[in-house]
A and B are shown apart, each in its own frame.
Chain A
């Protein structure tokens, strides 16, 4: 007959057999490094100039901590400017350039610009289109044209549209589809 001890040993052996191969400790405290876009830099080069002026939207501690700092875009009335965007993760050292990743995946990303200022028009740079057929704008580079003086905002949205972007029938894209990677609003003053 089985004694009580025999059974106890059997139970322990069974317990060991099922736990010995567990591997969750391998994960230990191996925290994943979250990747964030902390900093968006808008470089504006006025026509006739070669020196870009930079404006920064920055939230180095990520969402939910301290509020971001946002520069005011300053433009000259009745002029044209070339704009380019740079995205970075400055929460790591050295800062990580995410613009490169967006360029690499240009076929599923697109920037959208929505100015609220009358007369401010923003157009995609035709040399900054992706390799979809037909090509669609990416938006890292754009042309800005101002009218008279005024104040307002420019909303810049980056959409991640995997598998969607190529199928959008128009040439300017669809800001309502895909998921939002970036949605920032810069104040604008045109003088």
Chain B
């Protein structure tokens, strides 16, 4: 939980709000260098254009609902936010010299019976410096309804996508993915089968109210898997005021006939103030995607997702139970289903899929069937004005079945070729204490227990004998402490963490090796940021993090069907350590906003799959053997975004990300590292209505991905099957706005065109690039109708 010092402010009377003319008490003798920033939302959606006034200064929220007012004088000031159709809100606050105060406004529609408004005031923690984090609001999530989680994140600098065809999409942060990226869902470490490159995150973005992306190591706060970064998904806030609200979201896409219907309903009874419930669900169905020249047969999907939250909140304590279920069936491109290395080379020679059938919604084998469940209960209590305690327990279940094409007469017909069940229990306690105006600390303990049962009975239907992975139990316990504070123009943060992890594997998995492995994993971080003038902030972070080897890295042994390689784990692996340093720059001027980071991640014992000679002779031919080895690796990168706002409602932006990763021992480039990516966009939002359309907007963007040339071509000893594909540029566009259907009923409507020029391309990080082109042009029509009663 990021929210700090969450406070409830009661707005006693509405009359007061009307009076809230803004009076600033400037103290002439102090530098006017205070900053107030935050988000303006209503029912979890951003309110672009909402006015925020602090003393004499004003600002309008941008399209993410974000506002920032700089150059404020210390002292007490009224802060006021207003937007037509919503209750204005005002409160008095005290600005301290040189401080940034983060203040989010949750405005209520005028028709509501208002009785309380939530104000979250917090300082921005130094570690999550602006240069390293991004937020995606509920409005943006709904505006991308139907897109997978990864695609939502990919607009942010430093994020690229590891794909297995159109349906399986994983986010890659600064070149790291899978076991090196943590997903935190509703405050709980997401425990799925994230180790597999063809295992997408088991998460429905529509169930989230906000997504936060933290680039770079965050292991001290979040544990060992947060080595490369964290994706934090938070459920939407429960309603603050009595009443019923809800909405529906619908989307349809032209390329794969995708249809999505989702909805949510929130209710807070008047009789029991503080009690609230929210239910949400979505259904998604898609048929085969189409590349410009052919149908990508068997790339359909079917999702059924649902969640609920039940919360009770008083002034000094609160508790919440939430549950989310995710179910998906993902078709795997028929042409990608190869039985041997020769098949892969044959597909590459052919250049286009050999199995192309007419478009269908049907999904046949091979396909993945995945279910994920998360149940959490959390409670918080304000022990004193300075101390807050939070506790959370959670249970997760993850089930994955992969179906293969088998002979109908085979004993495996109708049964998964591979299945894995993982059940995890976790508990966490977190104590926050404010030592003084300038120093705040938090400390926490966490524990979890995971059990893999069932059996990863890989295999191929045709020729596998063993499980790829044995059954195991794993236990993790950790404790951390973090302090953050301010001194003059500096903000700083420092922390340390210690984790212990134990693996117990079923005996006999690896004869001759211990069935128990234990790891002790210390991590530490320190960061400092400094303001330079009114608009510029510099930050620097150093950290050292340790990650235990994953079960797959330790114990897998057998054929990995997805990549047609034999993978051999290494039960002797030591923890992987990453020493990282990063520098960030943020500039926030009147017409120009800029943020940029440069980083170095030096790995000691980077766990990597490397070729292991000789290749294995099997009944299906010769397979390359890859073994998990530890090497020293060096990742360096740059990423940034610049936004120029030449006039009202206009935005011109550019995003860039560059990663270089070397295997220091072998002196070679690491494989599967994202190519250089750039994105340019032009947005226009009308301030005046356009006919019946309010907040009408038009966006055009071009994303340009260069060819990966490190390594690009197949050398004689290459580990890849084909040269890296050519670079490409894709154009997309979006138009939309808000229709007022009735006094209190609005419809948000948008039309998006992806790959507008219907370009043929293959992406280096798409595992299907050997077999087929990526999907072509796609029009997506989306409609969201929120309502309140």
Contact = CB atoms under 8 A, between A and B. Distances in A.
Contacts of B756: none
A24 B454 contact: yes
Interface stretch (B66-74, B465-473, B514-522): B465-473
A72 to B, nearest CB: 15
B566 A63 contact: yes
Contact of B410 (A7, A30, A35): A35
A64 interface: yes
Contact of B405 (A27, A35, A37, A179): A179
Contacts of A95: none
Contacts of A10: 310, 321
A100 B706 CA distance: 52
Interface string B347-384: 00010001101000000000000000101010100000
Contact of B408 (A4, A35, A105, A163): A105
Contacts of A11: 319, 321, 377, 379
Given A24-B397, A183-B340, A34 B319 contact: no
Nearest to A33: B411
B415 A64 contact: no
Given A18-B375, A32-B419, A35-B411, A64 B462 contact: no
A36 interface: yes
A176 B375 CA distance: 49
A157 B621 CA distance: 9
A35 B620 contact: no
Contacts of A176: 346, 350, 354
Given A162-B405, A179-B338, A183-B621, A37 B419 contact: no
Interface in A10-24: 10-12, 14-15, 18-19, 22, 24
A68 to B, nearest CB: 6
A184 B619 contact: yes
B377 A34 contact: no
B467 to A, nearest CB: 7
Interface string B320-331: 010100000000
A15 B409 contact: no
B619 A68 contact: yes
Given A40-B619, A63-B623, A34 B405 contact: no
A80 interface: no
A63 B412 contact: no
Interface string B664-675: 000000000000
Contacts of A15: 321, 375, 377, 395
Contact of B620 (A2, A61, A180): A180
B611 to A, nearest CB: 14
A160 B617 contact: no
B461 interface: yes
Nearest to B455: A31
Please indicate which of the listed interface residues A32, A65, A67, A164 has the most CB atoms of chain B within 10 Å of its own CB: A32
A8 to B, nearest CB: 8
A101 B421 contact: no
A156 B338 CA distance: 17
A39 to B, nearest CB: 9
Contact of B619 (A14, A38, A109, A177): A38
A14 B558 CA distance: 42
A59 B340 contact: no
Contact of A2 (B312, B337, B423, B457): B312
B618 A59 contact: yes
A63 B464 contact: yes
A37 B339 CA distance: 13
A169 interface: no
Contacts of B455: 29-32
B350 to A, nearest CB: 7
Contact of B407 (A22, A40, A101): A101
B464 A31 contact: no
Contacts of A57: 619
Interface in B529-587: 557-559, 566, 568
A104 interface: yes
Contacts of A104: 409
B343 interface: yes
Contact of A91 (B415, B460, B462, B465): B465
Closest 4 CB pairs of A and B: A62-B465, A183-B621, A180-B339, A63-B618
29 contacts: A2-B272, A10-B321, A14-B321, A24-B399, A27-B454, A28-B454, A29-B453, A29-B455, A31-B455, A32-B412, A32-B417, A32-B457, A34-B458, A34-B465, A35-B412, A36-B462, A36-B464, A61-B465, A63-B558, A63-B618, A63-B619, A63-B620, A64-B616, A101-B407, A104-B409, A160-B407, A160-B462, A181-B462, A182-B619
Given A29-B453, A105-B409, 16 more contacts: A8-B319, A14-B310, A15-B375, A18-B323, A22-B373, A27-B399, A34-B458, A34-B460, A35-B461, A38-B465, A105-B408, A157-B342, A163-B357, A164-B355, A180-B620, A181-B463
